[in-house]
Amino acid sequence: MTEIVLMSDPKVAAVPVRECGERLVDVRRDSRLLVDERTWQDSAGAFAHLREGALGRLHKAQAQLPPGMRLLFVEGYRPPSLQRRYFDEYAAQLRATHPEWAAEQVHSAASRYVSPPEIAPHSAGAAVDLTLADADGRELDMGTRMNATPEESAGACYTQADDISREARSHRDILGTALTAAGLVNYPTEWWHWSYGDRYWALQTGAAVARYGPMVLD
């Protein structure tokens, strides 16, 4: 497995943002994507929003999938306050499990699973958590459940993990090939997390600036 650049790496924070002002759009208004119901308890519907350019790339990716497969959209935009809560809660779990860890180690380890709030692609409307489904909307085997932590899955949540079935590996490869061809990048500790236009995307693709910075949904 190649070296993984974590969201907490200073190189990510060093990428400048030149906000393009592109709007957030509600993916539920477009029937081309399946939208999962697991986060629909979000009454404001924030989870179903994504930057217009990122959504267009998901459409391109879906068009490249084999017959009988569809993208299943689970979560896009995440308000900065919610991102902070998720990060702090996971960091607290790690501190309780590893009281010997220094603050910097906790911060780095937490970033494998939840992006630091000041960097978070979800809060820029640039990232999407998604998986593959069949023509009837049933999720395909991806090796772990979505949002499995590194501790829970013994590292199998890492995109290139070895300890998953041949079928799951095939599904991850299909997903990755389609999304990469459409211009998105993966966060390698989470097979389900892909983004376009954020700082992590810029670093991984060599772009001079990120297109999208954190924003608040109107």
The proportion of the chain whose per-residue pLDDT surpasses 90, expressed as a percent, equals 67
Mean pLDDT over 194-217 rounds to 96
Per-residue confidence (pLDDT) for residue 82, from 0 to 100? 77
Helix, coil or strand: residue 155: coil
Beta bridge partners, 34, equal: 72
How many Cβ atoms sit within 10 Å of the Cβ of residue 89?
Answer: 11
pLDDT, tens digit (0-9, with 9 covering 90-100), for 7-20:
889 999 999 999 99
Nearest to 170 by CA among 69, 56, 61: 69
Per-residue confidence (pLDDT) for residue 41, from 0 to 100? 55
pLDDT, tens digit (0-9, with 9 covering 90-100), for 132-163:
999 999 999 999 999 999 989 999 999 999 99
Our measurement of the distance from residue 204's CA atom to the centroid of its chain's CA atoms, rounded to an integer in Å, reads 14
Distance CA 108, CA 89 (A): 14
Per-residue confidence (pLDDT) for residue 115, from 0 to 100? 75
Per-residue confidence (pLDDT) for residue 116, from 0 to 100? 78
pLDDT, tens digit (0-9, with 9 covering 90-100), for 22-56:
999 999 887 789 998 765 556 578 899 999 999 99
Per-residue confidence (pLDDT) for residue 43, from 0 to 100? 57
Per-residue confidence (pLDDT) for residue 38, from 0 to 100? 66
Q: How far is CA 87 from CA 1, 8, 120, 123, 154, in A?
A: 26, 12, 10, 12, 20
Taking the model in full, what pTM does it have? 0.88
Per-residue confidence (pLDDT) for residue 42, from 0 to 100? 60
Nearest to 193 by CA among 99, 101, 86: 86
pLDDT, tens digit (0-9, with 9 covering 90-100), for 62-121:
999 999 999 999 999 988 877 788 778 888 888 888 999 988 887 787 777 677 778 889
Tell whether the model's pLDDT for residue 200 goes beyond 80. Answer: yes
